[in-house]
Amino acid sequence: MTDTSPPRSGFAHRVAVPADEAEIAALMDVAIGELQK
């Protein structure tokens, strides 16, 4: 994963522990699903 536009993603990536990557991905999927409702 590369840090592109949103500085937010860089911050979240820095805070996240590698073991939490899957959890973060799941949360992103849920958020995207909510937006697409």
pLDDT digits (tens, 9 = 90+) for 1-36: 555 555 555 555 555 556 577 888 888 999 999 999
Report domain extents, the chain: 7-36
Phi then psi dihedrals of residue 16, to 5 deg: -70, 140
- pTM for this structure? 0.42
User: What pLDDT does residue 7 have?
Assistant: 53
Query: What are the structure tokens assigned to 13, written together?
Result: 């990536």
User: What pLDDT does residue 32 have?
Assistant: 92
User: What pLDDT does residue 22 have?
Assistant: 80
DSSP string computed for 1-37? ----S-HHHHHHHHHS-GGGHHHHHHHHHHHHHHHH-
User: What pLDDT does residue 20 have?
Assistant: 72
